[in-house]
Amino acid sequence: MQNAELFTLTYGAIVRQLLTDLEDVDEVNKQLDQMGYNIGIRLIDEFLAKSNVSRCVNFKETAEVIAKVGFKMFLGITATVTNWDVDGSSCSLVLEDNPLVDFVELPDMCQGLYYCNVLSGVIRGALEMVSMKTEVTWVRDMLRGDDAYELRLKLLKQVPEEYPYKDDE
Amino acid sequence: MGREVSESCIDALITEMVSSYCNRFYVNKPEVSARRIEAIGYQVGIQLSERYTVERPRFSEHLEAIKFICKEFWSELFKKQIDNLKTNHKGTFVLQDNRFQWLTHMSINASAETTDSSQQEPHSPNSTTLDANLLQATSMHLYFPCGIIRGALSNLGIPCAVSADASNLPACSFVIRIKA
């Protein structure tokens, strides 16, 4: 682990540069999500290698593992899983802390920006690598005046895994 | 403040930022990508330098500021100091990190591929093309730390140009030219 300052400031500088270069808040949201997705599909390997979690039996367990093990391993924080729907296919992750947003204040011109969109992309990308198609969206965002950071996770499709695995891939 | 994230988080973010600029936003315009990546680093450098010098009197000469970059600043970022500092005493400084953290994974990949054919000969013909490809990939990544150094010094009142030389992986040299 290392001091979060560099990470937080780098992320802030990236968002700022994207706003300048892309000139459109919706496009910035989209690109942050895409960057997150690309990061997620790479970080999942490290997660599986280091976490020693056994295979999750269902989406409920998966959400708990993300909240308690995944967030802890990478961002040093945890989240609470709440608001399950009846069939157990969507839930909320409420972050207990958020290292992305230290020192951040959004100017008025950034209304509509989902500053932390990289994070929803990371989760979506990582889950896709373990055969779960999901939709991940922000429902509460303190930078937009809400009282917490809350992500909504919705399982769209669970792709049956193919056997046998190739060991060298 | 004590908050910590994993090193892989930072690595992944930087790698993805570089790749987004080179492969998505400004495809076929490497010079534009390079400027943007450097600009992001510059911003980070200014802010880091601001934070790390809060309790410190102003540097009275360039060499002091450069030494600060080599020691405290580098240690905060990489948990080690710059290994070698050279200067021509005319405003050019060369800072060498013998094992630059942000490039170590690249050099590990390279050495893994070269060990079979050219174990003791890093400059044998076999490794030449590999070296060239590696250089190309690393050069984009290096605009970020170059920007950080330029931002940090600029925040200390020292305008300069910074370039990097990674032809000797995993060592990396940063050349700082202070503007008169």
pLDDT at B119: 42
Contact A13 B40 (CB under 8 A): yes
Best of A10, A16, A46, A72 to substitute, by most chain B Cβ atoms within 10 angstroms, is: A10
Least CB–CB distance from A2: residue in B4, B19, B44: B4
Domain limits, chain A: 5-158
Which architecture does CATH list for B7-178? 2-Layer Sandwich (3.30)
Q: Cβ of A45 under 8 Å from any chain B Cβ?
A: no
Rounded to whole angstroms, the Cα distance separating A9 from B41 reads 10
In B, minimum Cα distance to A76 occurs at B5
Which positions 125-164 of A are in contact with B (Cβ < 8 Å)?
none
pLDDT at B117: 41
Q: Cβ of A76 under 8 Å from any chain B Cβ?
A: yes
pLDDT digit string (tens) for A56-85? 788 999 999 999 999 999 999 999 999 999
Please give the ipTM for the structure prediction.
Answer: 0.91
pLDDT classification of A167: cutoffs 50, 70, 90: low
Cα angle B120-B122-B123, degrees, rounded to a multiple of 5? 125
Q: List CB contacts of A87: < 8 A, sequence separation 6 or more.
A: none
Question: Would you say B12 and A42 are in contact if contact means Cβ atoms under 8 Å apart?
Answer: yes
pLDDT at B115: 40
Best of A1, A2, A51, A69 to substitute, by most chain B Cβ atoms within 10 angstroms, is: A2
Integer-rounded Cα Rg, in Å, for chain A is 16
Question: Would you say A10 and B10 are in contact if contact means Cβ atoms under 8 Å apart?
Answer: yes
When comparing pLDDT for B2 and A21, which is higher? Answer: A21
Q: Cβ of A46 under 8 Å from any chain B Cβ?
A: yes
> Both tokens of residue B26?
């400004």
Contact B3 A3 (CB under 8 A): yes
Q: List CB contacts of B40: < 8 A, sequence separation 6 or more.
A: A10, A13, A14, A17, B17, B144, B147
Q: Cβ of A5 under 8 Å from any chain B Cβ?
A: yes
Q: List CB contacts of B42: < 8 A, sequence separation 6 or more.
A: B147, B148, B150, B151, B154
pTM of structure? 0.88
Question: Domain A5-158 adopts which CATH fold?
Answer: Muramoyl-pentapeptide Carboxypeptidase; domain 2 (3.30.1380)
Q: Output the tens digit of pLDDT for each of chain B's 180 residues.
A: 578 999 999 999 999 999 999 989 998 888 999 999 999 999 999 999 999 999 888 898 999 999 999 999 999 999 999 999 999 999 999 999 999 988 876 644 444 444 444 444 444 445 556 666 666 678 899 999 999 999 999 999 999 999 999 888 889 999 999 987
Mean pLDDT, range A13-26, rounded to an integer: 95
Which positions 63-102 of B are in contact with A (Cβ < 8 Å)?
76-77, 79
Least CB–CB distance from B8: residue in A43, A76, A102: A43
Work out the percent of chain A whose per-residue pLDDT is above 70: 95
Rounded to whole angstroms, the Cα distance separating B36 from B18 reads 9
> Both tokens of residue B14?
């930087």
Question: Would the pLDDT of A94 be above 80?
Answer: yes
pLDDT at B122: 46
Mean pLDDT, range A7-24, rounded to an integer: 95
Contact B5 A38 (CB under 8 A): no
Question: Would the pLDDT of A113 be above 70?
Answer: yes
Question: Would the pLDDT of A12 be above 90?
Answer: yes
Task: Tell me the nearest-neighbour CA distance from B90 into chain A, angstroms.
Answer: 32
pLDDT at B95: 98
Q: List CB contacts of A96: < 8 A, sequence separation 6 or more.
A: A77, A78, A79, A80
Mean pLDDT, range A89-111, rounded to an integer: 90
